[in-house]
Copies of this chain bind each other. A is one copy, B any other.
Amino acid sequence: MAQNDTVTRILDTAEVLFAERGFAETSLRTITSKAKVNLAAVNYHFGSKKSLIQAVFARYLDPFTERFHRALDELEAHYGDQAIPLERLLETMASSVLEVPAERNSLKVFMRLLGLAYSQAQGHLRRYIQEEYGSVFTRFTALIRQATPELPDSERFWRLHFMLGSVIFTLSGLDALRDIAEKDYAEHVTVRDLVRRLRPVVVAAMQAPVPAHLSYASQEV
């Protein structure tokens, strides 16, 4: 039991430190000392710092993808060969994300990690996530495609990333933004509040009119 305890204590400490300061800015010594664990334990249990980073992600993404796949299964079963409405797809994604770290209060850590995965250099991380979890994203985008048949493929591709940016950017910078919001508007915002606010925005964005010039050849304004 004690050996497993070391592993989880490392993971618990590493994930909050990574989320706070990034990967390169977090040293193994900072992690191990705060986790009250010997320095060599990381290399013993994980092999390298890179592998530790990947393990931190796997602990969130594994349960998420499993849950998300199951939820999509149910949706598909319910709608048969009809297209699943966009709102339902977005809700399903949101609740799958929200449910994963429900036990801990670490949703914000999860989102911050996702933001870092995109923004930090760490080429190995992007490769790892793509190879390990790319399929669920592919499945999701295929369903989104059926839900928005009026959009050209490339336009939908870009809009999905616009919205991904909204979510990741806002939620991963939540702490700083929340401080401002509390000071200026005297309201305390939870992650769930933000998700509620995001939904109508994302739907409206996905359904915005397609500029005419995009349907044909590109043209100057």
Contact = CB atoms under 8 A, between A and B. Distances in A.
A161 interface: yes
A120 interface: yes
Interface stretch (A6-14, A68-76, A99-107, A166-174): A166-174
A169 B210 CA distance: 21
A155 B198 CA distance: 10
A38 interface: no
Contacts of A205: 166, 201-202, 204-205, 208
Given A25-B24, A205-B204, A161 B154 contact: no
Contacts of A120: 22, 25, 119-120
* Copies assembled: 2
Given A24-B22, A25-B24, A169-B161, A203 B208 contact: yes
Interface of A: 20-22, 24-25, 115-116, 118-121, 126, 153-155, 157-159, 161-170, 172-173, 176-177, 180-181, 184-185, 187, 189, 193-194, 196-205, 207-211, 213-214, 218, 221
18 contacts: A24-B25, A115-B119, A118-B169, A119-B172, A154-B181, A157-B181, A158-B170, A158-B197, A159-B197, A161-B169, A161-B170, A164-B169, A165-B169, A196-B211, A196-B213, A197-B211, A202-B205, A205-B208
